Amino acid sequence: MAPVEEAKELEAETSLVSLPTIETVASESDDPPVDDKSWKKGSLAATQRGRVQRPFFQDAIVPPPNGSIVPVLYKPRRRSRCCVFGGDDGSNRMPWSTFFAIGLGALVSFIVVVALIARVGHNMRSGNPKDNRHVTMYPTLSPSTVEPTSSEPSMPPTISPAPTLTPAPTPPETTAVPSTVPTPDRANPPGSIVAKYGLLEARNTRLVSQVTGTEVQLKGMSLFWTNTGWEGHVFYTEGVVESLVNNWNISIIRCAMGVEEEGGYIDYETANKLRVLTVVDAAIRMGIYVIIDWHTHYAQNYLSEAVRFFQDVATVYSDMPNVIFEIYNEPLLETEWDLTIKPYAETVVESIRRTGSENLILVGTRSYSQRVDEASRDPIDDINIAYVFHFYAASHGEWLRDYARAASNVTLFCSEWGSVSADGSGNPDEDSVREWIDFMDERSISHVNWVLNDKNEGASALKPGSSIRGVWTEEDYTDSGLLAREIISETGSYAPG
């Protein structure tokens, strides 16, 4: 069956499902509840250990105290499908925070996601909901399995309206068990950079460790746009993160969430979000910092979407010092700081802070994130903000560094730099790159290279056809990739003194 036909068939199957009763069943067991009748009817249940709560789609804003649920879907029509979200510990549990991030919003969307994950993961044996085979929490959702190719319409398919949910009977209460929500101490390996430095604060024009009080400079790589069909989305894998940490010595990785462009967040919210969450969770497991970037030139046109997205991810990761929010990638030349960028940023920043998050927030500046001088004259009133500048070594030189020098009263962060021309083409200008690196090192400015991708252009670190799992040899790297690896691996991060 052709990939597109398969996706359409899956969509059709999903739309046929009579929306099941949502149950929240307290249990001492890690297994899904066993009820042959309900399973045969295609019920969706969540085993929430420790407390009984009302149906979670209707009352899910506050996570359960134990932090762990077991969403299971069994659908007997045509081919039987049953999916258990797997947890990091190999069990059939998943963190509530993860479910909240990918499942909340529209019930129909969640049913579709569960069905897709079931297909990508495995089909469980009919009538056996206690099948505990581990399923990867975040399967790679590629165009061949979940979304139409470029020849198909860019808008997502229409899903049939869902009928009204019927609450299930309240089961007996059980003794509470310890929470399985990951904590910073457990999630970040001992000795990792985040375990050492913790939350980063923009203080006195520098990034400073909340733990040690010392300056910290991060060096790492940016992934390509998350957009489906844009080549780079396939590199949003755990293997890529592990390889960059182990072989490049990166201390930070950037997720470039495409927004309004074809195949991006507006078209395929769930798939793009899953890609980002895959990398964020991998970064946390490896103990490095990670930027969640709203990668657009027109963020002010998608304010409500940005607020909702950043509130969602900030709610999930508010206690994780790894996460850095970049709320506007590159405003255009004509997009004014005082009239457009700053008001937009203030709204999004406030929405993040309402979640309780104190994490560092990066704000792009006018003219493709070059005019940090303008932002420095009218900064945002917030506890933890850094201002973004970008450069491409073959196109930008001393005049752009002058803008950065003028912004002497704020913290700067270079969330994107390239060794080639600003359009991503050409060969690396190593002399210019070295001048820029010296400039940033002198000022402890953290920086992220563009881009970990195999697209056939000068900025890409990998040659076409390179592994999406991070298994690379010297022959896989482009000249840009070799230069970036050399610069990053020299000192992935440092704290003077």
Q: Enumerate the active-site residues.
A: 330, 416
Residue 124 carries which DSSP code? P
Tokens of 477: 């790297």
Taking alpha carbons only, the member of 484, 493, 422 closest to residue 452 is: 484
Of 188, 200, 191, 198, residue with least CA distance to 444: 200
Distance CA 226, CA 142 (A): 11
Inter-residue contact 315 to 100 (CB < 8 Å) = yes
Beta bridge partners of 218: 493
**Quick one: tokens of 90?**
């190999």
> 247-269 as b/e, with b when 16 or more CB fall inside 10 Å?
ebbbbbbbbbbbbbbebbbbbbb
Alpha-carbon distance of 147 to 159, in angstroms, equals: 14
Q: What 3-state class would DSSP assign to 324?
A: strand
Map tokens 């309900």 to a residue: 38
**Rounded Cα–Cα distance for residues 314 and 320 (Å):** 9
Q: How far apart are CA 277 and CA 357, in angstroms?
A: 17
- Residue 209 phi/psi, 5° resolution? -70, 130
Cα 442 to its chain centre, rounded Å, is: 31
The whole-angstrom separation of Cα 311 and Cα 328 is 15
C-alpha count within 13 angstroms, C-beta hemisphere, residue 18: 9
**32 contacts: CB under 8 Å, gap ≥ 6:** 45, 47, 70, 72, 84, 92, 129, 130
State phi, psi for 388 to the nearest 5 degrees: -95, 135
The pair of structure tokens assigned to 54 is 């009302």
Residues 6+ apart with CB under 8 A from 241: 253, 279, 282, 283, 286, 288, 470
- 34, β-bridge pairs: none
Instruction: Tell me the β-bridge partners of 22.
Output: 44
Closest CA to 94 of 68, 116, 72: 68
391-421: buried (b, 16+ CB within 10 Å) or exposed (e) per residue?
A: bbbbebeeebbebbeebeebbbbbbbbbbbb
Handedness of CA 119, 124, 125, 129 (dihedral sign): negative
